[in-house]
Amino acid sequence: MFPLPARNPAAASAGVYTLQVFVTEAPMLQRILVLLALLTGAAPAPAADLLPSWRDNAVKARIVAWVSTVTTPGSGGYVTPNDRIAVFDDDGTLWPEKPRPQGMFALQRLRAIADGHPEWRNRLPYQAALELGSKYLQEASDDAVLQLVAAAHAGQTQEGFRREVRSWFATAQHPRFARPYTGLVYAPMQELMGYLKANGFRVFVVTTGSIDLVRALAEDMYGIPADDVIGSSVVSTLREEDGQLVIRRLRTVHALSDGASKPLFIDLHIGRRPILAVGNVGSGGDIDMLRYSQDGRGTSGNPPTLQLLVRHDDFEREYLYDEDNQASVQAANARGWLVVSMRFDWLRIFGDN
């Protein structure tokens, strides 16, 4: 699409180069402009076209104003691109968590091999998952879901596991929405991640679920590279088999990325405090991550930070749920986090694909 730039003979001595850019697609032009803007540290990318699924109201305005502040030199809250770190929770923040998609993935495998595991019949969470299926996975704890994921594919190589994840999610349909799980990314969140990246942010997904599972999907589903996913893990082991080194998964949970672990895992993986953190109500598991992002204000040049908390308050288009004690919303109100209502702030929930 680009010819190499030919030096303009008329302007050779002045060091002027002319690039003839033949643009046939608007998205490509947009990418080029964004890259050029980033290269040159030019003005923030415009929000108007990049957040079409967000209602034009105070919530959207606050997001846009904050991004403008941290990306505008001289704004008083300018943050260099290196420190523009954003973290997003996954289940319930980027796509639905009812029933837990990775629980559904583990379940089909547990069912297939259950005959060889009579011990699962009387032990939780296996018994509940096998007997109640997706109903159980509407309510199961993060810890229980990760135990299912670990047990279902114990012994498999990491490469084999990733292949199986991609293969199952390529066709498996959500029981209520009758489309593939991977087609259920929240459109406003997809747009928000794109808007942030266009403004020089690095965007990380911090899932409470299996890091390996989310990673196998993140590139296609979210446009996030595999290494920018942080999450829970199972114990794995390096083995020599037929003279080759392979990594195999064991059935033991290594670490659960939830609550207070999220800031620790973010620190271990990224090594910087995020200036933006996005989570959702439902378990209270994102409170520490949002606090950690906010409490970084005093530590390195006092950057303005932003925290978003998504409320599942849309019974008709998605789900309606909250914590019994409403701890997340109370923390949001006490600390000035921006509460995002799926019902009122999002013009649409899912994309067209």
Strands 306-313 and 276-280: parallel
Q: Return phi, psi of residue 240, to 5°.
A: -100, 120
Q: Is 35 in the site for its own copies (CB under 8 A)?
A: yes
- Mapped onto helix, strand or coil, the DSSP state of residue 238 is strand
Q: CB nearer to its own copies: give 128 or 246.
A: 246
Among 49, 56, 131, 159, binds its own copies (CB under 8 A): 159
Name the residue nearer to its own copies (CB basis): 186 or 265.
Answer: 265
In the bound complex, what is the minimum distance in angstroms from residue 10's beta carbon to its own copies?
12
Q: Is 109 in the site for its own copies (CB under 8 A)?
A: no
Q: Residue 245 interacts with its own copies (CB under 8 A)? A: yes
Q: Does 233 bind its own copies (CB under 8 A)?
A: yes
CB of 311 to its own copies, least distance (A): 23
Q: 211-222 vs 101-113: helix axis angle to the nearest 10?
A: 130
Q: Does 40 interact with its own copies (rule: CB under 8 A)? A: yes
Instruction: Write out the two tokens for 97.
Output: 């968590």
Whichever of 74 and 243 has its CB closer to its own copies, that residue is: 243
C-alpha 320/C-alpha 280 separation (Å) is 12
Amino acid 123 reads R
Q: Is 211 in the site for its own copies (CB under 8 A)?
A: yes
Compute the distance between CA of residue 85 and CA of residue 265 in angstroms, rounded to an integer: 14
**DSSP structure string for 155-190:** T-BHHHHHHHHHHHHTTPBPTTT-SBGGG--BHHHH
Task: Kindly state the number of chain residues that form the binding site for its own copies, as judged by CB under 8 A.
Answer: 66
Sole binder of its own copies in the list 247, 250, 320, 347 (CB under 8 A)? 247
Among 60, 84, 197, 269, binds its own copies (CB under 8 A): 269
Q: Strands 306-313 and 202-210, how do they pair?
A: unpaired
Q: What residue type is assigned to position 84 of the chain?
A: R
Give least dist CB 138 to its own copies, A.
28
Q: CA distances (Å), 297 to each of 82, 95, 97, in order?
A: 16, 29, 31
CB of 37: closest distance to its own copies in angstroms?
8
CB atoms inside a 10 Å sphere around CB 282: 21
Q: How far apart are CA 66 and CA 71, in angstroms?
A: 9
Output 130 or 226, the one with its CB closest to its own copies.
Answer: 226
31 binds its own copies (CB under 8 A): yes
330 binding its own copies? (CB under 8 A) = no
Is 288 near its own copies (CB under 8 A)?
yes
Q: Which of 123, 251, 267, 333 binds its own copies (CB under 8 A)?
A: 267
Residue 269's H or E segment, with its range, is helix 261-269
Provide the binding-site residues for its own copies, judged by CB under 8 A: 1-2, 4-5, 14-24, 29, 31-33, 35-37, 39-40, 42, 82, 158-159, 162, 202, 204, 211-212, 215-216, 219, 225-229, 233, 236-238, 244-247, 260, 263-264, 267-273, 288, 291-292, 295, 298-300
